Amino acid sequence: MLALGTSCDGTISVVFSTGPQDFQVDTSELDLLTAFRDDDGNIRSVPCGPMGMCPPSETVTLTCERDVCDPAPKTVSAPVGTVIDVDMLLSETREVISSVDSYTFEQIRYEVSLNTLTFPVNDVEIFWGPEAATAIDPALGVRRLGTVPAVAAGATPSGDVILDPAGAQELSDYLVGRGSRVRFFAQTVVDLDPGDPFPEGEIRTSVNVTVRAVGSLI
């Protein structure tokens, strides 16, 4: 849905949204084998060996922390929704707006619709990138757009994404001067300790970006 407004200086503003863009993360991405699960359903505490040595593992990096082998933090990333075509979202305004001079990201809402995780999720960073971007990599033009606050185990909150002003300005500049098709990514760091509940479950989240485009009347 579009909302149109005009001003005395001959400009027009259009407010529109991307619609909910979904992403999902489950614990299979952590590569923590069931061998690390103790009889109480927690992450097994394995004492460090001589000179701080830990058992070798092909899937998990273990470091000796306080005489116990501790799984290293794991960065988890996921694509968010599909490609956003801003020109298509603004197609209904082509008869009244000649060009867009700027974009303002008025609100980014997030909603956790499902959360069966046995551990809390740290802040989730939301990134934007050109359509061709395949991963969160600055060399591919990917920039941070905002942050979803940490989510407690099993919680299903909703609220506002904390906007990154620099990343939002770069996205506006990109949409004005270089392209109209972008995609989003999500990334968080999972840091589990021996004795924590063994990681199980999944989390599903959506983000919906409300945008104001300002341009000139035809």
CB atoms within 10 A of CB 85: 15
Q: How far apart are CA 93 and CA 40, in angstroms?
A: 60
Can you give the length of the chain in residues?
Answer: 218
Residue 52 lies in a domain: no
For residues 48 and 94, which has the higher predicted lDDT (pLDDT)?
Answer: 48
* Start-to-end Cα distance in the chain: 21
User: What whole-number distance in Å separates Cα of residue 189 and Cα of residue 106?
Assistant: 27
Does residue 40 belong to any structural domain of this protein?
A: no
At 56-100, the pLDDT tens digits run 878 788 899 999 999 989 999 999 999 999 989 888 777 667 678
Helix (H, G, I), strand (E, B) or coil at 14: strand
Q: Is residue 129 part of a domain?
A: yes
Domain that holds residue 186: 3-34+72-217
Is residue 151 one of the residues assigned to a domain?
yes
C-alpha distances out from residue 175 to 35, 53, 99, 129, 133, Å = 49, 51, 11, 11, 15
- For residue 59, is it within any domain? no
Reply yes or no on whether the pLDDT at 1 is more than 80.
no
Contact 32, 71 (CB under 8 A): yes
- Could you report the per-residue pLDDT of 121-160, keeping only the tens digit for each? 999 999 999 999 999 999 999 999 999 999 999 999 999 9
With H, G, I as helix, E, B as strand and everything else as coil, classify residue 114.
strand
Neighbouring-strand partners of residue 158: 111
Average pLDDT over residues 16-20: 94
* CA dist 92 → 14, 182, 211 (Å): 10, 19, 15
63 lies in some domain: no
Q: Output the average pLDDT for the chain.
A: 90
| pLDDT category of residue 3 using cuts at 50, 70 and 90 | low
pLDDT tens for 91-118 read 877 766 767 899 999 999 999 999 999 9
Residues whose CB is less than 8 angstroms from the CB of residue 57 and which lie 6 or more positions away in sequence, other chains included:
33
- pLDDT of res. 34: 76
Which amino acid does the sequence have at 96?
Answer: V
Distance of CA 206 to the CA centre of its chain: 9
Residue at 138 is within a domain: yes
Where in 116-142 does DSSP place strands (E)? 124-130
Domain count within the chain? 1
CATH at 21: 2.60.120
Q: What pLDDT, on the 0 to 100 scale, is given for residue 61?
A: 87
Global pTM value: 0.89
Mean pLDDT of 8-34: 84
Q: How far apart are CA 207 and CA 214, in angstroms?
A: 23
Q: Is the pLDDT of residue 2 over 70?
A: no
Residue 44 placed within a domain: no
At 171-207, the pLDDT tens digits run 999 999 888 899 999 999 999 999 999 999 999 999 9
